[in-house]
Homo-oligomer: A and B are copies of this chain.
Protein backbone atom coordinates (compact mmCIF):
# COMPACT_ATOMS: atom_id res chain seq x y z
CA UNK A 1 0.00 0.00 0.00
CA UNK A 2 1.08 3.56 -0.57
CA UNK A 3 2.15 5.99 2.08
CA UNK A 4 1.58 9.72 2.20
CA UNK A 5 5.05 11.11 2.59
CA UNK A 6 5.87 14.78 2.65
CA UNK A 7 7.68 14.30 -0.66
CA UNK A 8 4.84 12.63 -2.51
CA UNK A 9 2.38 15.22 -1.27
CA UNK A 10 4.66 18.03 -2.42
CA UNK A 11 5.00 16.50 -5.89
CA UNK A 12 1.24 16.12 -6.29
CA UNK A 13 0.65 19.66 -5.08
CA UNK A 14 3.19 21.13 -7.52
CA UNK A 15 1.43 19.45 -10.43
CA UNK A 16 -2.06 20.37 -9.29
CA UNK A 17 -1.13 24.01 -8.93
CA UNK A 18 0.90 24.37 -12.11
CA UNK A 19 -2.04 24.31 -14.52
CA UNK A 20 0.25 23.03 -17.27
CA UNK A 21 2.43 19.94 -17.85
CA UNK A 22 5.74 20.14 -15.97
CA UNK A 23 9.17 18.63 -16.51
CA UNK A 24 10.75 16.54 -13.74
CA UNK A 25 13.19 19.30 -12.84
CA UNK A 26 10.37 21.87 -12.71
CA UNK A 27 8.49 19.55 -10.38
CA UNK A 28 11.59 19.17 -8.22
CA UNK A 29 12.01 22.92 -8.00
CA UNK A 30 8.38 23.57 -7.05
CA UNK A 31 8.07 20.64 -4.68
CA UNK A 32 11.23 21.64 -2.82
CA UNK A 33 9.39 24.67 -1.50
CA UNK A 34 7.43 22.20 0.65
CA UNK A 35 9.97 19.37 0.92
CA UNK A 36 13.47 20.91 0.76
CA UNK A 37 15.38 17.62 0.95
CA UNK A 38 13.54 16.17 -2.06
CA UNK A 39 15.82 14.51 -4.59
CA UNK A 40 15.37 14.09 -8.33
CA UNK A 41 15.45 10.30 -7.98
CA UNK A 42 12.46 10.48 -5.67
CA UNK A 43 10.64 12.72 -8.13
CA UNK A 44 11.16 10.14 -10.88
CA UNK A 45 10.14 7.25 -8.67
CA UNK A 46 6.94 8.99 -7.61
CA UNK A 47 6.08 10.11 -11.11
CA UNK A 48 6.36 6.56 -12.35
CA UNK A 49 4.15 5.29 -9.57
CA UNK A 50 1.55 8.04 -9.97
CA UNK A 51 1.36 7.42 -13.70
CA UNK A 52 0.98 3.68 -13.11
CA UNK A 53 -1.88 4.15 -10.65
CA UNK A 54 -3.59 6.62 -12.98
CA UNK A 55 -3.18 9.78 -10.89
CA UNK A 56 -0.97 11.44 -13.49
CA UNK A 57 -0.71 11.47 -17.26
CA UNK A 58 2.47 11.48 -19.26
CA UNK A 59 2.72 14.23 -21.83
CA UNK A 60 5.16 13.47 -24.64
CA UNK A 61 5.82 16.21 -27.17
CA UNK A 62 7.96 15.71 -30.25
CA UNK A 63 11.64 16.09 -29.40
CA UNK A 64 10.92 16.90 -25.78
CA UNK A 65 11.48 15.09 -22.52
CA UNK A 66 8.37 13.69 -20.83
CA UNK A 67 6.21 16.14 -18.92
CA UNK A 68 3.50 15.28 -16.39
CA UNK A 69 0.02 16.54 -15.63
CA UNK A 70 -2.82 15.48 -13.34
CA UNK A 71 -5.06 12.88 -14.99
CA UNK A 72 -8.80 13.22 -15.24
CA UNK A 73 -9.18 15.95 -17.84
CA UNK A 74 -11.12 15.52 -21.07
CA UNK A 75 -9.53 14.65 -24.43
CA UNK A 76 -7.15 17.45 -25.30
CA UNK A 77 -3.88 18.20 -27.05
CA UNK A 78 -0.96 20.48 -26.39
CA UNK A 79 0.56 23.74 -27.44
CA UNK A 80 4.21 24.64 -27.04
CA UNK A 81 5.36 28.24 -27.04
CA UNK A 82 8.36 28.71 -29.31
CA UNK A 83 9.61 31.47 -27.07
CA UNK A 84 9.33 30.30 -23.46
CA UNK A 85 9.05 26.59 -24.38
CA UNK A 86 6.28 26.04 -21.89
CA UNK A 87 3.51 23.62 -22.74
CA UNK A 88 -0.21 24.31 -22.37
CA UNK A 89 -3.32 22.21 -22.77
CA UNK A 90 -5.63 23.00 -25.65
CA UNK A 91 -9.15 21.64 -25.77
CA UNK A 92 -10.80 20.41 -28.90
CA UNK A 93 -9.52 18.27 -31.67
CA UNK A 94 -9.25 17.89 -35.43
CA UNK A 95 -11.42 15.52 -37.46
CA UNK A 96 -11.03 13.40 -40.54
CA UNK A 97 -7.61 12.21 -39.47
CA UNK A 98 -8.22 8.74 -40.86
CA UNK A 99 -8.65 10.26 -44.31
CA UNK A 100 -4.86 10.78 -44.28
CA UNK A 101 -4.09 7.08 -44.00
CA UNK A 102 -2.50 4.86 -46.63
CA UNK A 103 -4.53 1.83 -47.73
CA UNK A 104 -4.37 -1.09 -45.30
CA UNK A 105 -3.47 1.00 -42.26
CA UNK A 106 -5.78 1.48 -39.28
CA UNK A 107 -5.67 4.28 -36.68
CA UNK A 108 -6.66 3.99 -33.07
CA UNK A 109 -5.16 7.15 -31.63
CA UNK A 110 -3.50 10.42 -32.49
CA UNK A 111 -1.48 13.27 -31.06
CA UNK A 112 -1.61 16.88 -32.16
CA UNK A 113 0.92 19.48 -31.10
CA UNK A 114 0.56 23.15 -31.95
CA UNK A 115 3.48 25.57 -31.97
CA UNK A 116 3.46 29.34 -31.75
CA UNK A 117 3.40 32.00 -29.08
CA UNK A 118 1.57 31.81 -25.81
CA UNK A 119 -0.48 34.78 -24.63
CA UNK A 120 2.27 35.94 -22.24
CA UNK A 121 5.03 35.95 -24.84
CA UNK A 122 2.71 37.43 -27.45
CA UNK A 123 1.88 40.32 -25.14
CA UNK A 124 5.55 40.83 -24.30
CA UNK A 125 6.51 40.84 -27.99
CA UNK A 126 3.84 43.43 -28.77
CA UNK A 127 5.03 45.64 -25.95
CA UNK A 128 8.62 45.51 -27.21
CA UNK A 129 7.51 46.29 -30.76
CA UNK A 130 5.49 49.28 -29.51
CA UNK A 131 8.45 50.60 -27.50
CA UNK A 132 10.67 50.38 -30.57
CA UNK A 133 8.17 52.28 -32.69
CA UNK A 134 8.05 55.00 -30.04
CA UNK A 135 11.81 55.50 -29.87
Contacts and interface: CB of A to CB of B under 8 A. Distances in A.
Interface of A: 58, 60-63, 66, 77, 79, 82, 88, 90-119, 122-123
Contact of A97 (B91, B110, B114): B114
Top 4 A-B pairs, shortest CB-CB distance: A104-B119, A94-B94, A60-B63, A60-B62
A102 to B, nearest CB: 7
Nearest to A94: B94
B123 A101 contact: no
Given A62-B60, A94-B94, A116 B122 contact: no
Nearest to A95: B94
Contacts of A61: 62
B115 A112 contact: no
A122 B96 contact: no
A111 B79 contact: no
A134 B123 CA distance: 65
A100 B114 contact: yes
A113 B97 CA distance: 10
Given A93-B100, A109-B114, A112-B112, 6 more contacts: A61-B62, A62-B62, A104-B118, A108-B116, A108-B117, A110-B113
